[in-house]
């Protein structure tokens, strides 16, 4: 079953979710690790990897948005109105972050005079040339949103665990493809 139903996630949504989750957590970990490294060839190789993975996550996010129009997600299994709103807010923040972080990283790189390539297969165009002011703004966005996302990811995981272990409902099972 590729498409979502009223009660379950299809293969496309589940694959996108788990690949995005792995990339997202990996990008956060890699970003934190890279930021403390001294300038070196290794650091620049890690930056290139970070950029490539970020582009990949952005492409998955764009596919996710298109897929949501073709195959809407099943309704949340919320116990209270507050949890329902919180669940939608957390998902919305994660979606927004998967758009803001790659775009701010792209702007940060190009305004700092660095190209953004996807595993050397193609290079993104330079939308804004070197510009110190815009570079600092993009860097501020990227470095501020990153740590906040750790909290949102943890909240998302905590919500899934609460549904699975406390409510014993099918929230996590649906994303794992189990009945």
The CA R_g of the chain, rounded to the nearest whole Å, is 18
Split into its structural domains, the chain has a count of 1
Is residue 6 assigned to a domain? no
**Domain annotation covers residue 111:** yes
Domain membership flag for residue 116: yes
Least Cα distance to 50 among 102, 113, 85, 110 occurs for 102
pLDDT (tens, 9 = 90+) of the chain, 179 residues, equals: 999 999 999 999 999 999 999 999 999 999 999 989 999 999 999 999 999 999 999 999 999 999 999 999 999 999 999 999 999 999 999 999 999 999 999 999 999 999 999 999 999 999 999 999 999 999 999 999 988 889 999 999 999 999 999 999 999 999 999 97
Is position 2 within any domain?
Answer: no
- Rounded Cα distance between 130 and 140, Å, is 16
Domain span at 83: 11-176
**Phi and psi, residue 117, nearest 5°:** -120, 150
pTM of the model: 0.92
- CATH of residue 58's domain is 1.20.950
Reduced to 3 states, what is the DSSP secondary structure of residue 118? strand
Assigned domain for 127 exists: yes
- Residue 72 resides in a domain: yes
Q: What does the DSSP 8-state code read for residue 74? A: P
């Amino acid at each position: 079953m590729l498409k979502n139903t009223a009660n379950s996630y299809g293969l496309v949504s589940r694959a996108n979710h788990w690949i995005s989750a792995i990339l997202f957590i990996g990008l956060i970990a890699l970003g934190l690790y890279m930021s403390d490294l001294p300038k070196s060839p290794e650091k620049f190789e890690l930056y290139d990897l970070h950029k490539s993975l970020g582009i990949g996550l952005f492409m998955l996010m764009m596919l996710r948005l298109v897929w949501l129009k073709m195959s809407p997600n099943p309704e949340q299994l919320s116990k209270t109105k507050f949890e329902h709103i919180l669940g939608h807010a957390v998902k919305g923040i994660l979606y927004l972050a998967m758009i803001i972080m790659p775009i701010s990283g792209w702007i940060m790189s190009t305004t700092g005079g660095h190209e953004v390539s996807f595993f050397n297969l193609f290079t993104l165009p330079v939308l804004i040339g070197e510009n110190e002011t815009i570079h600092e703004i993009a860097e501020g966005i990227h470095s501020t949103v990153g740590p906040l996302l750790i909290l949102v990811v943890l909240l998302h995981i905590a919500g899934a665990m609460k549904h699975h272990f406390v409510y014993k409902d099918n929230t996590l099972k649906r994303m794992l493809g189990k009945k």
